[in-house]
Amino acid sequence: MKTNLLSVLKSKDFSKLWTAQLLSQVAYHMLIFASILHIYDLTKSLTTISLVMMATAIPSVIFGPFSGAFTDKIRYKKVLIATNILRFLVVILLIPAAHNTLAILELIFLMSTITQFFSPAELSSIPLIVKKDKLVAANSIYLTTMYGSLILGYGIAGPLQAIIGSYGVFLVIAGLYAVCSILVYLMSEYDQKEIKHNLTLRRLEQSLVSIWQSTRSGLSYIRHRQKVYSPMFKLTVAWAMLGSFVVVLPGFAEKTLHISTEYAGIILIVPAGVGMLIASWALNRWQRFSKNTLIFFGFIVAGLALLAMSLYSFYNFLNFSLLIATALMIIMGFAAACVYVPAQTLLQINSDGPMRGRVYGISAMFLNLAMSIPALFIGGIADLTSPTITLILVAFVIIFYGASLYFEDDEPAGIELEVRV
């Protein structure tokens, strides 16, 4: 596998595409977390952070199902270059809009909308520049980079913001998108598909109608199959948990942990990412186990770790209290992966082949809604009460939901867990 990974990276086109993916995704996650911290500094309101989450998630619900149909009508390289240039321009516009919260939210919405068209073009490019026998290795690199960029982007955005300020961070992000545009431009003309017809509103409308009909049939399929909607619902709850925590994070870091919000990513988010990576390694070693039992374990442990974190004020007199908080985040990340990986695996093995694409698309929509809509209420509750009380409430909801899973029927024995990182 190691040899395959190295041989894939030796491909000039793939190495350029992979570097562009890494830089663009790091830039995107830096932008989101830097915007969260910047808006919190402007408003001191966690409700506005909820609005940031909604601005990033809603475009994937509106445009996500249709973006693939649009990008298939244009050569992928052109889509990649155009989306990176547009994102560069959007970030530049953030600089004069930095004191206007509404303008920032609108630009984040626009940024997320553009990104919906970058992702399918990027994924569709991989089979065109990588040989068939190396696709597994290429996709493994892609997925690892996707998760790693989230940890890296959220981790460095805060400290960088503390050093060079929000304007400086926005310029760095804009520079990353400019480099991505150049990297894609330097790729060969790998997409030689024939554009038989110009993209017109009529043809686009026909594509959208077809996609909507497929989505409806997918919803009907999911609704009538408990083994499909059950893991999907568990994933949705897990993402709602993540969205709730991100919303409360700046206020909790400032008011309870008494640390600068700029360093919340390093102290809290990066350790959670490390915990997820440890869990992914461990799950690769444990090839056979009960996935529903592991999901039950993950929810209970994540809820208990979050509860212990929310009670920080009871042990903050200790000299190593921040180390305890960091350790709890590693545990929480480990437990979260014990939910994400088995639930995603169950979704894969329980979905019929012809319906699998629709199931994944609908699942992505639900996950993005789960990160945004509950977060809106969580932000309001935190503003009315406190971040600590809000996290306690979220922790108890997670624990009670996890406990309810104990009474679920387990999946048939003998199904192996597939973990791809």
pLDDT tops 50 at residue 35: yes
Give the start-to-end residue ranges of the domains of the chain: 11-186, 217-410
CATH architecture entry for 217-410: Up-down Bundle (1.20)
pLDDT at residue 65 in the model: 66
Q: What percent of the chain has pLDDT over 70?
A: 84
Sign of the Cα pseudo-torsion (375, 381, 385, 390, in order): negative
Comparing 51-65, 105-119, 344-358, 370-384, the range with the smallest average pLDDT is 344-358
For 27-49, give one letter per residue: b (16+ CB within 10 A) or e: bbbbbbbbbbbbbbeeeebbbbb
Q: What angle do CA 86, 205, 122 make, to 5 degrees?
A: 40
Check if the beta carbon of residue 393 is closer than 8 Å to that of residue 307.
no
pTM of the prediction? 0.79
Same fold, 11-186 and 217-410: yes
pLDDT tops 90 at residue 222: no
Q: What is the pLDDT of residues 353-367, one digit of tens each?
A: 666 666 766 777 787
Of 164, 228, 185, which Cα lies nearest the Cα of 19? 185
Superfamily of domain 11-186: MFS general substrate transporter like domains (1.20.1250.20)
| Helix-then-strand count for the chain, H and E | 15, 0
CB atoms within 10 A of CB 323: 11
- Tell me 193's DSSP state: -
Of 88-97, 190-199, 245-254, give the range with the top mean pLDDT: 88-97
pLDDT at residue 46 in the model: 87
| Banded pLDDT at 419 (limits 50, 70, 90) | very low
DSSP sequence for 390-417? HHHHHHHHHHHHHHHGGGSPPPPTTPPP
Contacts 24+ apart (CB under 8 A), 185-189: 185/81, 186/16, 187/12, 187/13, 187/16, 187/17, 187/77, 187/129, 188/12, 188/13, 189/77
pLDDT tops 80 at residue 134: no
Distance CA 55, CA 48 (A): 10
Q: Which residue has the tokens 């597939």?
A: 418
